[in-house]
Chain A
Amino acid sequence: MNENPLAALAALSGVLIAASIALIFFYVPTDADQGFSQRIFYIHVPVALTAYACFGWGAWKALRHLWKREPGADLESYVAIHQGVIFGVLTLATGSLWAKISWGHWWLWSESQLVLFLVLFLFYGAYFMLRYSVEPGPARANMCAVYALFGVVLIPVSWLSIRLANDFIHPTVFTTDGPQMSGSMFLAFCVSWLALLTLAGTMYRVELAGKRLDERMRELRELLTA
């Protein structure tokens, strides 16, 4: 395990995913209000929170790049944002499915929580357009880092929008009084979130290793063909 932390993380992720599926489908009670479809909550909310975590991690690495000039921080920031966008797509997809069964609509433009998440997602989607429109080098790394830091401001706005809006139908589960659900539901939610965080961590480490390997191969090719 100590020799290969990535394999350990992947195994932990697998175990947690299996545990969360068992909890969601065989342990938690069916919601009295929404019925069976409420089980989408255990995937939709953890996926959204994981997307926020990835964007946050990307911004933290961008800050490390600008502040400490940490080697490799630019690449780490890029990979984290890439993971965030993947989880962002999944948030929108699972959210739309839940909206359709609960509200009868795939999407509601009147819902600030939905629209702000879409804005956040499109903002980080545009990050890749910026990155691939500039030649690789320190200038590109600085520009991308500044952009990633600007984007992170949208995360608390997106998170708080549901609490600031008055005319919402999007449910508020986490209030100042704590989670508005039973203990078993909260346990399933926590395990599911932990499973997705470890999955995102595994994907981040694998993608980062691949990108670093790519860079070394490019250097080796240049040395051999020089």
Chain B
Amino acid sequence: MSAGEKYVAAAYLVVFVAVLAWVAIIASKMARLSRDVDELTELARRRLEHEAEPEQGRVEVG
């Protein structure tokens, strides 16, 4: 491999690695967003259960 070929390979590799790194960063962000969605879903479910509790315990009189 000549010196010119090595430098050309390095230039194209730099761009490829940068795009790959960007994809990895976005993938980690997606994973974090997915965890956040799970957490918020759990929060919403607990809130709904909490709101439903007094209605279950209520007894009609008369």
Tell yes or no: B15 within 8 A of A by CB. yes
Q: Is the Cβ of A93 less than 8 Å from the Cβ of B14? A: yes
Report Cα–Cα, A203/B15, bound state, in Å: 14
Q: Is the Cβ of A37 less than 8 Å from the Cβ of B4? A: yes
Q: Is the Cβ of B7 less than 8 Å from the Cβ of A97? A: yes
Q: Is the Cβ of A36 less than 8 Å from the Cβ of B4? A: yes
Distance of A171 from chain B, by nearest CB (Å): 16
- What residue in chain B is nearest A218 (Cβ atoms)? B36
Q: Is the Cβ of B19 less than 8 Å from the Cβ of A210? A: no
Is chain A's binding surface mostly helix, strand, loop or mixed?
A: helix
Distance of A38 from chain B, by nearest CB (Å): 8
Q: Is the Cβ of A43 less than 8 Å from the Cβ of B26? A: no
Given A210-B29, A210-B33, A225-B43; A90-B8 close (CB under 8 Å): no
The interface of chain B, by Cβ under 8 A from chain A, is: 2-5, 7-8, 10-12, 14-15, 18-19, 22, 26, 29-30, 33, 36-37, 40, 43-44, 47
The 10 closest A-B pairs by CB, nearest first: A37-B4, A36-B4, A101-B7, A94-B11, A40-B11, A97-B11, A93-B14, A224-B43, A39-B8, A97-B7
